[in-house]
A and B are shown apart, each in its own frame.
Chain A
Amino acid sequence: MVRTPEANREQFRPTDHPNESFLLTTVVGSYPKPKWLNRADELVDDPDSKFDADDLAEAHDDASRLITHEHERSGLDTVVDGEMRRNEMVEFFADRIDGYEFNGPVKVWGHNYFDKPSVAEEVAYDEPWLVDEFAFTTNVAERPVKMPITGPYTLGFWAFNEAYPSTEELVYDLADLVNEEVEKLVEAGARYIQIDEPALATTPEDHAIVGEALDRIVSGIPEEVRIGLHVCYGDYSRIYPEINDYPIDEFDVELCNGDYEQIPTFEDPAFEPDLALGVVDAHTAEVEPVEAIKANIREGLRVVPPEKLTVSPDCGLKLLPREVAYGKTENMVTAVREVEAEIDAGEIDVDVPLADD
């Protein structure tokens, strides 16, 4: 059953917010790394270089500060540090969880490889995964910080399972560890957590496993903490309306990429969590004009009223050139603020959002 999004949404409204309406703006998480950071990541492995782990930590801090501020400059209501410290969405966590081991890269397609880890024994919590990242980011940010975490279903199914009789059992153990991490983040002050489950898109028939895992993740997490779920690239009709039963505040979808053909899926029955709608494409290198993005935002109003609509890019923007990623984010925020003003002025009928002004 859905959590209570209305209990935690207002805390993200900036004090100087210009409109009565408030569509929460956010990002999915990853952002292009500055070129120098990629070089720094390589340099630390070069035995001939004097660049050491402390230097890399400093570089990560610098990049995290830079991208957090870049997000704030674009006007976002909630920000992320662009995941500057993370290499890959499974590897980063597998590296920090006892029970995983790495054997080497495996093929994804062509000459693109992934250091797919193996779960060689029961997983266990060792050191915190993201508490330092949160503490640093929230310290340099003026706006509230959102923390994306790769979800247990993806951490389980995108690894080799050597240790558990079924990967489903592995997923539930991982969900307990994610719960432990979320508790630590909440203790450190985090109020906005996003669980990323891209693996669900490839096996939608497993939606009940993800639901059970989410129950474990949110166990004991107070209602002022906003819990989002991001699932990208899929046939959402395979997991809707089941997601209405998930214990989440917000469901984040990628629909710009498919030109909103799947919007009607969410219109009936009524969408229960808040909708976080992707309104710029994460896989095209052209910055969408503000007017086009405004039309995309209206698509979201077909599903939920403004007070339940969050706006974000389709997915993480890390594969785009950085100036394109920034341009998309900035135009997105501009479009949202214009749509809010038009709703306030009665120029957009929220009951018939696609009607001409």
Chain B
Amino acid sequence: MTERVAATPGLYPLPDRAKATLSDLKGHQKGDLLSGDEDETAATEYDEVRAALVDDQLDAGLDRICEGQARWDDMIAHPLTVHDAVETGGIVRYYDNNNFYRDPRVTGELGFSGDVARELEAATEALAAGESDADAPLSATLPGPYSLADLATDEHYGDDAGFLTAIADFLAGEVAAFPDHETLFLLEPSLVTNPPTTGEESTAANAIRTVADATDAEVVVHTYWGALGEKLYAHLVDEAGADALGLDLVTGDRDDTVYNVQEYGATDSLALGLVDGQNTFVEDVETIAERVEWFEGKVPVQGFETTYLTPNTGLFYLPENKYREKLAALAAGTEVLT
């Protein structure tokens, strides 16, 4: 019997009140973005935001609670843009979105940072202190090594393979310092948008395995913005050390994704991107449940250990009201199936 779990890859929008407060506190310019050593006032504000985002998830009835990543000014490039061995260059486009982030230029050895671990410690406290009667375990979020290397500029390691290994080792070190977490989402959109060249699939998968091996939690390698190339998909299933691959059923051709699973099998569990993280249209509960049943009906395996019901992307693209409605729809869609 497949367990259905409502979870998200994180990256939530700031509450509107905090958008105003934090932009007043920090400013609007490139130099005002988070460097990882924010002052007491900003830190307190972020603590309040984190608690609010945790409560949003408990109220919605999610089965995994993420930290919300409110501090991630640079989206999934965050773990590098706050790192001491990284200088932030110009503002550059974030994938083909109308969003921008600071180009992280890695200029030195990527040692341990602990920034994300500290966030997760705080999230653990927020979960324990939450006012809600509901309870659910913590889910951690990190960029996958392939996407993080893709978004960054190497000015230290000198070759692509060495850089990818260094990024993977760095992320593994961060994961090792995480407090208890039930799942770890590694966000890997670049596997779809800028896939490894033919012959390099294993290099990417092995880098992911380095990070996945650093935790005992269930690891979801979350891909989005379309279907994975079939060869890459096969390598990821076998070599990435993932308990679940995350597959986008919202954007791109979902038949290609179904074909991959039919042809090459799957990880023991799967995460299905069912709710559009980039559109304010809120999916019906029935639609979400039907999408899961449609997918599970197409694939040959008898049942997965766990099917994670997720948005395809992070939710920061959405206004605050719609983000909450999406969480509620996701939880309700999962409820219908169990």
Contacts and interface: CB of A to CB of B under 8 A. Distances in A.
Interface of A: 103-113, 116, 118, 158, 160-162, 199, 202-203
Nearest to B317: A106
Which of B73, B98, B321 has the most chain A CB atoms inside 10 A of its CB?
B98
Contact of A111 (B23, B91, B99): B23
6 contacts: A103-B321, A111-B27, A111-B28, A111-B32, A113-B19, A202-B98
Given A103-B319, A104-B321, A160-B281, A109 B16 contact: no
Interface string B299-317: 0000000000000000011
Nearest to A233: B93
Given A111-B19, A202-B96, A161 B32 contact: no
Nearest to B21: A111
A202 B93 contact: yes
B170 interface: no
A109 B99 contact: yes
B318 interface: yes
B16 A110 contact: no
B322 interface: yes
Contacts of B13: 106-107
B78 to A, nearest CB: 12
Given A103-B280, A116-B319, A108 B96 contact: no
B28 A112 contact: yes
A109 B102 CA distance: 9
Given A162-B279, A162-B281, A106 B32 contact: no
Given A111-B28, A111-B32, A202-B93, 4 more contacts: A106-B319, A107-B14, A111-B19, A113-B23
A105 B319 contact: yes
B22 A111 contact: yes
A107 B99 contact: yes
Contacts of B118: none
Interface residues on B, range: 20 to 34
Which of A106, A199, A202 has the most chain B CB atoms inside 10 A of its CB?
A106
Contacts of A199: 98
B307 to A, nearest CB: 27
A326 to B, nearest CB: 24
A271 B93 CA distance: 30
Given A112-B28, A116-B319, A160 B91 contact: no
B12 to A, nearest CB: 11
Contacts of A203: 96
Contacts, number: 68
B98 A108 contact: yes
Given A111-B27, A111-B28, A104 B320 contact: yes
Interface in B5-31: 13-14, 16, 19, 22-23, 26-30
A104 B101 CA distance: 21
| 5 closest A-B pairs by CB | A111-B23, A104-B319, A109-B100, A162-B281, A103-B319
Given A103-B280, A118-B280, A110 B30 contact: yes
Contact of A160 (B99, B280, B320): B280
B33 interface: yes
Nearest to B91: A109
Contacts of A103: 280, 319, 321-322
Contacts of B14: 107
Contacts of A160: 278-281
A105 B19 contact: yes
A42 to B, nearest CB: 13
B284 to A, nearest CB: 13
A331 to B, nearest CB: 27
Contacts of B318: 106
A158 B30 contact: no
B73 A110 contact: yes
Contacts of B316: 106-107
Interface in B250-299: 278-281
A32 to B, nearest CB: 16
Nearest to A159: B280
Contacts of B33: 110-111
A109 B72 CA distance: 11
B28 A110 contact: yes
Given A111-B23, A116-B319, A105 B96 contact: no
Interface string B144-180: 0000000000000000000000000000000000000
Nearest to B30: A110
Interface string B87-120: 0000101101011110000000000000000000
A253 B25 CA distance: 37
Contacts of B73: 109-111
A118 B317 CA distance: 12
Contacts of B16: 104-105
A201 to B, nearest CB: 10
A281 to B, nearest CB: 16
A77 B259 CA distance: 61
Nearest to B16: A104
Given A162-B280, A202-B93, A109 B101 contact: yes
Contacts of B278: 160
B19 A110 contact: no
A158 B23 contact: no
A109 B98 CA distance: 9
B19 A158 contact: no
Nearest to B94: A109
Contacts of A162: 279-281
A45 to B, nearest CB: 13
Nearest to A109: B100
B256 to A, nearest CB: 19
B194 to A, nearest CB: 16
Interface string B174-198: 0000000000000000000000000
Contacts of A111: 19, 22-23, 26-28, 32-33, 73
A207 to B, nearest CB: 15
A161 B281 CA distance: 8
Nearest to A104: B319
Nearest to B92: A109
A73 to B, nearest CB: 31
